[in-house]
Amino acid sequence: MTVTLDPAVKELLARSAPSEVPTGPLTAPELRAAFAASWRRPETVEEVASVTDHVLPSGVRVRVYLPDAAAPVPAFVWIHGGGWTIGSIDENEVASRAVCNAAKVAVVAVDYRLAPENPYPAAPADCYSVVEWLAAGGAGEAVDAGRIATGGESAGGNLSTVVSMMSRDRNGPPLAAQVLICPVYGHPDDGFRSYVDYAEGYGMTAGAMRFFFEQYVSDPAQLNDPYLLPLRADDLTGLPPALVLTAEYDVLRDEGEEFARRLTDAGTQVEMTRYSGQIHGFYGLYTDLPASPRSHKHVASFLTRVFDRRV
């Protein structure tokens, strides 16, 4: 059943037309700079026990948020969104800190390489290297190297699942779960109805997604690669339990929900929730929306159950 936009979302759209990505004269680096300049860190954020930046042997930078805990805590690898082209670990400060405290996990935010300077497969390679680093004990004694989950929003949700597939296929580190928020799993031409219904006027646009694909994909043949688009995968068995959160007014809604169904059919435990009245970015970017802290608690509850082996 369709409901109306959340009043807070209506106000946000009227005030700022968020994430309306210009696809005309701006280059990706210019767009990236404009996006970074438009983001402001909230005046107050939750305190956590520590926040440290690390550069991995692979060259990838990560930011590790640790909660106040006596024993080693599980790791939650967080992969930011931005169409593989814009964004950084900075924009998800609120969500990262909230989940760190509520779930008592080390949130490991990944600053992966961006397209078009570094097109596919640079981003998944970077994210997978973080999982390997954690499994090898790279984050130190405060982090349990044997308990790792992945998660991300939008392109980050895509990369979270891709990392899960890579770990499965390479006999890599076992992953406890994947948290998939408004994820990208298909292409704008795949025929999903949400690409028609919410093409413009709700923040993330169909045109913006086409622009992002143009940056990320250097060869059209790559669109058939399941490590780029997991909906192309013939085999989705053996993947970790998943939490899938979609937004009602989002071009990516239908592909996220279709992927949740396919995961379920493949035998994966899936918890799927559509956030009514919400738009793309409600979780990590637009944290002043009332639904945002609710979604952080949702993710924290899922991770707590996963690591307590109750999922």
Summarize pLDDT for 92-140 with one digit per residue, the tens. 999 999 999 999 999 999 999 999 999 999 999 999 999 999 999 999 9
Please say if 250 is a catalytic residue: yes
Is the pLDDT confidence value at 71 over 60? yes
Is the pLDDT confidence value at 235 over 90? yes
Spell out the domain ranges in the chain: 7-307
- Over residues 281-304, the mean pLDDT reads 97
Is the pLDDT confidence value at 20 over 50? no
- Over residues 72-97, the mean pLDDT reads 96
Tokens of 116: 């078009």
The catalytic position among 19, 88, 154, 167 is 154
Q: What is the pLDDT of residue 24?
A: 54
Share of the chain above pLDDT 90, in %: 88
The catalytic position among 80, 88, 126, 280 is 280
Share of the chain above pLDDT 70, in %: 95
Please say if 154 is a catalytic residue: yes
- Over residues 212-224, the mean pLDDT reads 97
Q: What is the pLDDT of residue 310?
A: 64
> Per-residue pLDDT tens for 150-187?
999 999 999 999 999 999 999 999 999 999 999 999 99
Q: What is the pLDDT of residue 17?
A: 55
Q: What is the pLDDT of residue 27?
A: 85
Q: How many CA atoms lie within 13 A of 142 on its CB side?
A: 17
Q: 7-307 — its CATH code?
A: 3.40.50.1820
- Over residues 1-15, the mean pLDDT reads 87
The catalytic position among 6, 111, 144, 250 is 250
Is the pLDDT confidence value at 2 over 70? no
Is the pLDDT confidence value at 26 over 90? no
